[in-house]
Amino acid sequence: MDLTGKRILVAGAAGALGGALSSALADAGADVVTAGRQDCDVPLDLADPASPAAAVAAAGRLDAIVLATGNVAFGAAEETPDEIVRALFDVNVVGPVALIRAALAAPEPPQAIVALSAIVADLPTAHMAAYSAAKAALSAYLTALRHERRKARTTVLDVRPPHLDTGFETRALAGRPPRLPEPVPATELVPRVVDALREGRRVLRWDAGNRQFVTA
């Protein structure tokens, strides 16, 4: 996709990673519409069932959507209460799916959908069981959606980043993080997401053995 002049909704733009992606896409020539809970063009709260459709309607015609959203919680699986599990699935799965569904229901659906799952979709992590399950569910949804949208030639890009230096783990809903690997600079990820969108890639993931991002 040539990004020049393309209207792209970035969900989660109030966050560090979403903000960096918004800036990079704008620098690439895109017409970026930011969405988030504060200081954005369009209000969006993925925990509110009515918010995703309202955000898409407010944004207008879109060529692509980018979901840089999520929340996390830590702790032993048997000690994670139901309300935390529900909150993780609401923001990491239910909300993103609702936003994607609303965008695809538009008279002119977007040509590309980009969503950040996480490395834990492939490598479920101890003391992050519910979060790992939520991100794996989102990743599975994106894979199935890609097959469904093949005839429409919709790009569906699943980004599975590792632990990044955005401070995400400090904003957990509950618990303290386990020992995490050395964070990868978000500045390494952002241009790769922009390139993967341009190239119509399906997956952008972290190869821990070689410490580099790879695409498919």
Instruction: Give pLDDT tens digits for 13-30.
Output: 999 999 999 999 999 999
The string of pLDDT tens digits covering residues 177-209 is 999 999 999 999 999 999 999 999 999 999 999
In a domain, 1, yes or no: no
Would you call 97 helix, strand, or coil by DSSP? helix
In a domain, 133, yes or no: yes
Percent composition of the chain: helix, strand, coil (DSSP 3-state, to 5): 40, 20, 40
CATH number for the domain that contains residue 139: 3.40.50.720
Q: For residue 99, what are the domain limits?
A: 7-215
pLDDT score recorded for residue 181: 92
In a domain, 161, yes or no: yes
In a domain, 150, yes or no: yes
In a domain, 156, yes or no: yes
pTM of the model: 0.96
Backbone conformation region of residue 195, classed left if phi is above 0, alpha if psi is from -120 to 50, else beta:
alpha
Q: What is the number of domains present in the chain?
A: 1
Contact 92, 134 (CB under 8 A): yes
In a domain, 51, yes or no: yes
